[in-house]
Amino acid sequence: MIKCNRVHLICMEDRMAATVKEVAKHAGVSTATVSRVINNDAKISVETREKVLESIEVLGYKINNIARSLKTSKTYTIGFICPELANTFFMNIAEGIEKELIKHGYSFIICSSGESKIKEEQRIKLLVEKRVDGIIIIPASNEESYYSWLKENEVPLVLVDRLVEDFSCDAVLSDNINGAYQAIEYLIKKGKRSIGFIGGDMRLTSAKERYEGYLRALSDYCISKNEDIIKFGDFHAESGYVCMKEIANSKNLPECIFVSNYFMHIGAARYVEENNELLKEKLTITGFDDMGFINDVFRNSVLFVQQPMSDIGEKAAQLLMSRINGEEIAYPQVIRLKTKLVDKE
């Protein structure tokens, strides 16, 4: 009989998740006391605390955050929705988010929207049903989607990288206009007059803003724009390739070209590599985004506008934390982080 009991006890300890109740019993205190110890309540005597801590150790107790969440209505989990996962740019932002979250004991559920508004809405619903404490979104489109519904239901929301038109909301993103402007200005000061432009999907604010910066710089230096060397893609490599090709085939080849993001940069660089030796000698490419090592292999690419990717994620998470914790700060906060122009020559 005694043996049987022991076996049973061992079973309990080893296999089943112990509860506060069991810990309380083992330590000879109430569940409230156990809870206080877990939550580092100040007014607990040292002896009691140690006794409880020992029981926790012995029983291998692990808190059940589900139960805690039900009681406190906090999950210490946020949602992050981005257009795709296998995208270095987005994932650098994700790393920034994680870095900040971990400090606060938070973790995040990641979802991809596949650049689709419909999917994005589905993911939002999913996250809301999982009771996440807040959501960070890199919007799939420029349309308002489900965001205002989140707002009404008081689910903290921070937009990242892209804004949504006619929808005011907390957001963290790069100063795209001035980032592009500085690059173009730099090129002009180096004597370039003919500067091509490969833009992204103009339904996205980031694409629009970079184009805006390009136009402003041309305008400020009295350089008229030439439609032949201005093309728009969709931020993916293939479109960069196509745009580059179109520009290369235009009558007046530019001296250099500005590409609006990393992936189109790769596409454009590929075109330059595989076609026309002439291009290689003359044309240089300036890229938005710099993923470090990779770009080094493009010999025509020496000027980069670096976005503080990780910082964007960190700031977004910080802002979200502030909202979750109900800090009184003006709404909305739109944080623009400065880019850095780097000449690798």
Q: What does the block give as tokens for 134?
A: 């807040």
* 65 contacts a second copy (rule: CB under 8 A): yes
Q: Is 40 in the site for DNA (CB under 7 A)?
A: no
Q: Which of 13, 38, 84, 167 binds DNA (CB under 7 A)?
A: 38
How many positions of this chain bind a second copy (CB under 8 A)? Answer: 54
Interface positions, 17-36, toward DNA (CB under 7 A): 17, 19-21, 28-36
Place of tokens 């508004």: 117
Using rule CB under 8 A, residue 75 touches a second copy: yes
Name the binder of 35 from DNA, a second copy, none, CB < 5-8 A by kind: DNA
Closest CB to a second copy among 130 and 225? 130
The region of 108-116, 138-146, 200-208, 281-289 touching a second copy under the rule CB under 8 A is 108-116
CB atoms within 10 A of CB 42: 5
Inter-axis angle of helices 237-248 and 262-274, to 10 degrees?
50
Please choose which of a second copy, DNA, none residue 15 contacts, taking the beta carbon within 5 to 8 angstroms, the exact cut-off set by kind: a second copy
Residues 6+ apart with CB under 8 A from 66: none
d(Cα 221, Cα 188) in Å, to the nearest integer? 8
Q: In terms of CB distance, is 177 or 272 closer to a second copy?
A: 272
- Residues in 268-287 that interact with a second copy by CB under 8 A: 269-270, 273-274
Interface mask (CB under 7 A) for DNA, residues 233-252, using x and -? Answer: --------------------
Which residue is associated with the tokens 């605390």? 49
CB 87, min distance to a second copy, A: 7
Residues 284-343 that bind DNA (CB under 7 A): none
Residue numbers 46-85 binding DNA by CB under 7 A? 47-49, 61, 63-64, 67-68, 70-73
DSSP state string for 276-323: -HHHHHH-EEEEE---GGGGGG-TTEEEEEE--HHHHHHHHHHHHHHH
Of 45 and 224, the one with the shorter C-beta distance to DNA is 45
> Tokens 């569940």 correspond to what residue?
31
Q: Is 220 in the site for a second copy (CB under 8 A)?
A: no
From CA 219, how far away is CA 198, in angstroms rounded? 18
Q: Which amino acid is at 187?
A: L
**Nearest CA to 199 among 256, 260, 265?**
260
Nearest distance, CB of residue 108 and DNA, angstroms:
21
Tokens of 80: 């992050």
